[in-house]
Copies of this chain bind each other. A is one copy, B any other.
């Protein structure tokens, strides 16, 4: 009947993630019995069975899956409220810091665009201070959701824009990056099929949502590593056009005819109302 408390959600999410009361309690910094009791109370209040306590471990019920998902979203929203409020604090003092904005960008992506955006925005009449927060591409959405960032430069098709407002800024093609001496490097253009089926050059794999797709290619952790592996003739990678800026002399980029185009968007939490953010978006749209 009454509303869920943040504490209850935190407890349930911990248990649902660990699937183990003892470990969850440890993670929460508390003893196991009160945690068990809190979850029981939660189930009673919701009138729903959340966990299947088998003799030997715990499993989520359907309702539990729902609460895990929705509860995470609610906790994110709550954390975002706290963080954004703190960040806005003190913005009243006349002459004080105008609300700072945190911009999440995938490290080293959209170099040029980012530089132009920051310069253009700084030149605006009353621009806020922008803090650039470099992060992995899969973190951006989380940062925006839980309030650690206010706005992000995202790249479809890798990022999902679901749940955010966004505006498309630029579109670019993709290129295959090959070792300079490789036979394919002499071609004018390539197709995805061409680079997927090179026996001596397995396609590099990078993590999506923290896990690597199966495949023969090496697992890539960062750009420098990728650059080196390509230069050594051990792999080939498909990257957006703008990545040419960080290529080495031993690399050759060949345009791909059938790779999906990469669109850079500026994205922000839906219904964000902030003058500073609106100004940044306006500036970006004019680039």
Contact = CB atoms under 8 A, between A and B. Distances in A.
Interface in A37-83: 46-50, 61-63, 65-67, 69-71, 73-82
A270 B74 contact: no
A236 to B, nearest CB: 33
Contacts of A3: 6, 10, 75, 78-79, 82
Interface of A is mostly: helix
A106 interface: no
A230 interface: no
A119 interface: no
A88 B271 contact: no
A112 interface: no
A285 interface: no
A90 interface: yes
A70 B84 contact: yes
A48 B90 CA distance: 7
A46 B163 contact: no
B271 A82 contact: no
A79 B4 CA distance: 7
A274 B73 CA distance: 15
A283 to B, nearest CB: 20
Given A66-B85, A163-B269, 5 more contacts: A3-B10, A4-B78, A4-B79, A9-B81, A67-B84
A144 to B, nearest CB: 12
Contacts of A270: 162-164
A85 B274 CA distance: 33
Contacts of A82: 3-4, 46
A228 to B, nearest CB: 36
A81 B85 contact: no
B74 A78 contact: yes
A3 to B, nearest CB: 6
Nearest to A10: B3
A9 B140 CA distance: 26
